[in-house]
Chains A and B, each alone.
Chain A
Amino acid sequence: MTSKTMSLLKLTVNNHPGVLSHVCGLFARRSYNLEAVMVRPVAGSTLPRSRMWLLVNEEQRLQQLIRQTEKLVDVISVERHELAGSVFEQTEEFFV
């Protein structure tokens, strides 16, 4: 599933209704290739936070994509992450 051009992003976001629309809407309107999304509330956090994992297929525009994502008000942080052992690899059996 994960070719060389893929990158994995780890987002911490406010757990609001609408935050998923803000993130996915941004990717759609700037035509960034989003391969997979996984999102759940952050366990044990005192604040209403969610963790969002994004698998993106954008080598050239990755920095631009990250900066645009960081501008979203409900996005608290964006980090690049190792592909190996990612949540997407571990859940592959659910997507056959």
Chain B
Amino acid sequence: MPDSALDPESRTQQLTGAQLLIRLLERQGVTHIAGIPGGANLPMYDALTSSSIKHVLARHEQGAGFIAQGMARASGAAQVCFASSGPGASNLITAVADAKLDSVPLIAITGQVPQAMIGTDAFQEIDTFGLMLPITKHNWMVRSAQALLEVIPQAFEIALSDRPGPVSIDIPKDVQNELITVDTLPEPGKALPCPVLEEAHVEAMLTRIWQAQRPILMIGGGIIYADASQALIEFAEKLDIPVVQTFMGLGVLPSDHPLSLGMLGMHGARYTNLVLEECDLVVGLGVRFDDRATGRVAEFCPKATIIHVDIDHSEIDKIIPSALAIRADVGEVLHTANFMLEANVRPVWRNRVDQLKQSYPLILDGENELFRPYGAIKTIASLLDDSVNITTDVGQHQMWVAQAYPINRPRQWASSGGLGTMGFGLPAAIGMALAQPERKVICFSGDGSLMMNLQELATAAEQDLDIKVVILNNQHLGLVRQQQTLFYESNLSAVKFHAKVDFAKAAEAMGLKGIDLGIVDSPLDELKNALLQPGPWVINLPICETEMVYPMVAPGGANRDMICGASA
């Protein structure tokens, strides 16, 4: 790259499209980009070497996508991943789709074959625009270097505004190489202000809450994305209303907060789902009434009317008709409400909730035994403090962690909620560690899920990050095994791994430290040592394949019909 191109003295600069792209990303405050180079994005990688942006070389583009997601979930800022055309772009798809369902601001930038070759089935040509279209908030094919001046800031604006989400930008190679003379660079894109809130709507909400005898707050990821956790706690405390959290809302309330009823839905505690049977008002705040939370919709909170507050207009009345809906930033609604409301106490309802809590508690079977799921999770939590970040993969281990690990602050928790992607945990942990190097990250995984992006162990070793991958190893695709046990008369089909993998050795082969707690003399000491030492570790913790996640609501069933284990 010619030096004159970046001379701050001369206002007019000649840049290639790729150089311009990198300049615009720097101006957006991007510090890390995860990705993999290839033929169609060579100019971007050429321009990257003279940039302050640090590149994180993933081992698979899906890993790159999830690394960027981990950074975005930890920080709230939009994050970028790079891939080449064809297989590079198609490998990104899962991470982008995952970001869409969990509303994560991810910016996927792909190289494309030169425009003159588009449509000719050129080497590594695929229709990235068409593939990304249904899984992004918006996407572009950039047809000139000039267009980058508009598209890049707009991409950040869209990814961050209202309900956040992924965008994708496909840039043909000739556009990356095109020379352009630039006078002034555009302002960086940022979140647009939310629609104006009408106070009358907040008043109407408060009136309904005052009239209710047995209200519940149902809170989700929207509270975290709106940075409204403190406002929510103040609101709940002043009005004395118990709170249920969705999977995505974990961490808004400290887990031991007296008003917290934990997680609702498919794997919620019995008392949590039973309180919802009795409540007469549900105030949904930053939630989308996902089927894993509601169970069979027709039987969700049968006695309650619904108030729904969400920034996404299309979520309102999508699943459940609301008696009152407010389309607004949930943080603004809560701040306004906190200012207007009169504090209240609800001793009768709180008593009833406590009664249910005592009669139908969350039973964490085996919570004092290291080689039982809840015991492993509780032991690990007891050795750490709230400064650590937590990721999971997908399966039983994910639900055990959601039920039992004390997630006590917003953005402490990153897990694939909407898409349920096995392979999320490790690369997301890498991203969280890159975004917040001062925090340790614990990735709870399963022996099935970890295999889906195992190659990223090498990335973790290369970056020398303080990540601990804890495998709750049952030699099975445990959650599928559980479903076959419960709903297919134990006709176990394709769920057992007959070949045993030595994960500790696999870790060592890739430059991490590894330990198998199943074969050491003092597993607790070894566990403590591995967790507390800095640096990347893989910790194998064998558990029995017959362990189950309870309670469980059958998919499509009503939340009151919970299947419970023998000890419940």
Contact = CB atoms under 8 A, between A and B. Distances in A.
Interface of A: 17-18, 21-22, 25, 29, 63-64, 67-68, 70-74
B322 to A, nearest CB: 12
Given A25-B134, A29-B134, A73-B138, A64 B314 contact: yes
Interface in B154-191: 158
A33 B313 CA distance: 21
B133 A21 contact: yes
A39 to B, nearest CB: 17
B317 A63 contact: yes
Contacts of B130: 21
B141 interface: yes
Given A25-B134, A71-B312, 18 more contacts: A18-B133, A18-B140, A21-B130, A21-B133, A22-B133, A22-B138, A25-B133, A63-B317, A64-B318, A67-B316, A68-B314, A70-B313, A71-B313, A71-B314, A72-B138, A73-B137, A73-B138, A73-B158
Interface string B272-309: 00000000000000000000000000000000000000
Nearest to B316: A67
Interface string B12-47: 000000000000000000000000000000000000
8 contacts: A17-B143, A18-B141, A29-B134, A64-B317, A67-B313, A67-B314, A67-B316, A68-B314
Contacts of A71: 312-314
A17 B141 contact: yes
Contacts of A73: 137-138, 158
Contacts of A17: 141, 143
Interface in B295-342: 312-314, 316-318
Interface string B127-160: 0011001100110110100000000000000100
A85 to B, nearest CB: 30
A63 B178 CA distance: 44
Nearest to A67: B314
Best-buried of B138, B143, B158 by chain A (most CB within 10 Å): B138
Contacts of B140: 18
A18 B318 CA distance: 27
A18 B133 CA distance: 9
A29 B130 CA distance: 13
A22 B54 CA distance: 34
Contacts of B137: 73
Contacts of A18: 129, 133, 140-141
A77 to B, nearest CB: 14
B110 to A, nearest CB: 15
B524 to A, nearest CB: 50
Nearest to B312: A71
Contacts of B316: 67
B465 to A, nearest CB: 36
Contacts of A22: 133, 138
A95 B129 CA distance: 31
A89 B412 CA distance: 57
Contacts of B314: 64, 67-68, 70-71
Nearest to A73: B138
Contacts of B313: 67, 70-71
A60 to B, nearest CB: 11
Nearest to A64: B318
Interface in B217-260: none
A15 B318 CA distance: 29
Interface in B407-449: none
Interface string B532-552: 000000000000000000000
Nearest to A74: B138
A72 B318 CA distance: 17
A91 B36 CA distance: 51
Nearest to B135: A29
A25 B141 CA distance: 16
A7 B143 CA distance: 36
Contacts of B317: 63-64
Contacts of B318: 64
Contacts of B134: 25, 29
A73 B167 CA distance: 11
Nearest to A69: B314
A24 to B, nearest CB: 10
Nearest to B137: A73
Contacts of B312: 71
Closest 4 CB pairs between A and B? A67-B314, A73-B138, A67-B313, A68-B314
Interface in B109-138: 129-130, 133-134, 137-138
A63 B141 CA distance: 30
Contacts of B141: 17-18
Nearest to A22: B133
B144 to A, nearest CB: 12
Best-buried of B134, B141, B312 by chain A (most CB within 10 Å): B134
A72 B138 CA distance: 7
B222 to A, nearest CB: 16
B153 to A, nearest CB: 13
Nearest to B154: A73
Contacts of A68: 314
A72 B136 CA distance: 10
Contacts of A70: 313-314
A63 B138 CA distance: 21
A68 B317 CA distance: 12
Nearest to A63: B317
Nearest to A26: B134
A47 to B, nearest CB: 14
A58 to B, nearest CB: 14
Nearest to B139: A18
A38 to B, nearest CB: 22
A19 to B, nearest CB: 11
A61 B316 CA distance: 12
A18 B141 CA distance: 9
Nearest to A66: B314
A21 B317 CA distance: 26
Nearest to A16: B140
